[in-house]
Amino acid sequence: MLQAEGRIRVVVERVRPEVDCGAFPAQRIVGESVVVEADIFADSSDMVAGELLYRHARTEDWLRLPMKPLGNDRWRGAFPVSELGRYLYTVEGWIDRFGAWRNAMVKRISSGQDVRTDCLIGAKLVEDAASRAPNEDAAKLRQWAAAVRQGSQQAALDQDLAATVQRYPDRRFAARYGKELCLIGDRDKAAFSTWYEMFPRSCSSAPARYGTLRDCEARLPYIAEMGFDVLYLPPIHPIGHTFRKGKNNEAAAAPNDVGSPWAIGSEGGGHTSIDPRLGALEDFDRLVANARTRDIEVALDLAFQCSPDHPYVREHPEWFRARPDGTIQYAENPPKKYQDIFPFDFETPHWRQLWEELKRVVLFWIGHGVRIFRVDNPHTKALAFWEWTIAEIKEEHPDVLFLAEAFTRPKLMYRFAKLGFSQSYTYFTWRNTKHELTEYFRELTETNLREFFRPNLWPNTPDILPEFLQTGGRPAFAIRVILAATMGANYGIYGPAFELGENTPREPGSEEYLNSEKYELKHWDINSRWSLKDLIARLNRIRRENPALHNMGNLRFHETDNPEVICYSKTSGDLSDIVIVICNLDARHTQTGWVTLDLASLGLDASRTFQAHDLLGEGRYLWHGPRNYFDLAAESLPAHIMKVRKWVRTERDFDYYL
């Protein structure tokens, strides 16, 4: 079967970034430049040219940018992400007849050949370009064409002529990549954020009193002083009574037990209501507004599940799965049973109505100033639902961000990012050794995952008290928060449990907290002398002040001769900000040894001295060459966070540090 146009001779393939053959969008931040590469080539040795085409999805006209050859038929271009939302991009290539003619002319003229006929050929190419150009450039091109036709070698090789012709190429037989690829432009906080999780009901100043949103508001200065810019609240909705869980997840609740906030819904309302013990909707609006004055955003938990007392259960029983005895199926993870939670049935014949209602819940809270949602267990809901919901929400509110709490299988975690989740929890929580951390973070930063998957690192959560924190004492908490804050651009802690070193498991081998805050009120002594709040505040100040720590794709590992110590660096794009972290991974012992830096990756001259300023301990060291000594005491500061200051000699032989 004949092609529609058999004169197209150029091939465009292997365009990057491309996620799953173009099925899903890549992700970038507004203000970033998207580097696009492609293979562009043709039969024979004819020259080709290429352009990068891009447009915001709400516009129809393509913007074009030239691509430059990298060698071996690989080409590169870049376009800016200047606003929020969805972008489309693709690549075109065509035979560059004028470029080939000009290159040949240079060779012919330098070898003294007769080029009169070649000038006639070139003049025709210039005239063709004039026919495609607007009036002013068309006139200039015709003048050049006349000079070239008269045999002017100077005109033929004129740089301005070449630049002008290239602006009006002959694209009649251009080849376009077979797909229009997609990219999502998000706001800065999608790539760089610092989360603090806190239960409002445990914010009371009195030990036995149920905390309120006003108490939560009073805690804002404490959170701001530590440098967090996202305050994440577990569900703030009414809590069910039927099958309410007692302390430590006991099946039978005592009369005064407060229940799990994730058992959502009672006679007081459902997902668009607030637990009356916390306050009213006006109190929530006030909290959001006052947090904003401290540069803190309030993030809400999006837990799409119901207690047996939720109004949905009575009004829409068709949204839940019935068992043979007529009762509704509660949540299970055998042998565990969660009788206080009914999951939605995403295979219900009434799935369209269910989807629309859950979308309405998100829009309700957006209407009350929420722009960040932490999604509870997204892997227990339909993938198609999330793809639709996130696309619908971001079409109208492109600044909204979604964090996936998906501690599940890797491929499923990555699928959520492809579907539109802005960030995701990770396995960092269980990666402790140098080998584990290095291998895992290389996977996150050096593979195609970096095009769409934004990790958010959490050392602990209300559900997870890792063994390292259970057994390592205060140094373990310091080590893990230093790693989370410097390896990741997004990180969070569950507090005040984290800064106060809560580390008692429910039983040996369990990752559940003893007397978990999920099931009871807690009273935290946030002014404890034991607290890590000062270290956390310093870490977050270091993060804010160093652009190198604002993204994750620049993470590079460096060699150490001690398996208990990890070393890595981050740099700004122009290498003006260089941060090197050396961290002791042993919570019990001092570790010493030597680090060998890859100076070339840091833009450092191996023959020059540079100053390493420890931003944690405030020490200053003069380092020369790649190999340098470290001594890290677990009990004091288990890490160096070194800001590199280059040693520069001026024309007057005066030395100083950049």
Q: How far apart are CA 268 and CA 515, in angstroms?
A: 27
Length of the chain: 658
| Nearest to 262, CA basis, from 509, 16, 462 | 462
Cis, peptide link before residue 17, omega less than 30° from 0 = yes
Show Cβ contacts of residue 36 under 8 Å, excluding neighbours closer than 6 positions. Answer: 15, 16, 17, 52, 67, 76, 77, 78, 79, 89, 91
- Bridge partners of residue 96, in order along the sequence: none
Nearest residue to 186 via CA among 42, 399, 394, 11: 399
CA 647/CA 252 separation, integer angstroms: 67
269 strand-pairing partners: 266
Distance, CA of 298 to CA of 217 (rounded, Å): 11
Helices assigned H by DSSP within 367-472: 383-396, 410-419, 434-446, 467-471
Single out the residue of 618, 525, 560, 249 nearest to residue 569, CA to CA. Answer: 560
CA angle 75, 81, 84 (to 5 degrees): 150
Q: What CA–CA distance (Å, rounded) separates 570 from 489?
A: 10
Half-sphere exposure of 511 (CA within 13 A, CB side): 12
Please answer whether residues 236 and 246 qualify as being in contact, where contact means their C-beta atoms are separated by less than 8 angstroms: no
Residues 6+ apart with CB under 8 A from 143: none
For 490, list phi and psi in degrees, rounded to 5: -115, 130
Q: Which of 362, 263, 337 is nearest to 307 (CA)?
A: 263
β-bridge pairing 175-176 and 85-95: antiparallel
Cβ–Cβ under 8 Å, residues 491 and 194: yes
Tokens linked to 202: 């445990």
The residues carrying an active-site annotation are 376, 405
Residue linked to tokens 């996936």: 404
* CA gap 462, 261 in Å, rounded: 12
Question: Hey, is 300 helix, strand or coil?
Answer: strand
139-162 core/surface letters (b: 16 or more CB in 10 A; e: else): ebbbebbebbbeeebebbebeebe
* Sign of the C-alpha dihedral computed for residues 627, 629, 634 and 640 taken in this order: negative
Query: Which residues, 6+ apart, have CB-to-CB distance to 374 below 8 Å?
Result: 232, 299, 300, 301, 302, 403, 405
Cβ–Cβ contacts within 10 Å for residue 292, how many?
Answer: 12
| Residues 269, 239: Cα–Cα separation, whole Å | 9
| SS3 category, 69 | strand
- 431 and 425 Cβ atoms separated by less than 8 Å: no
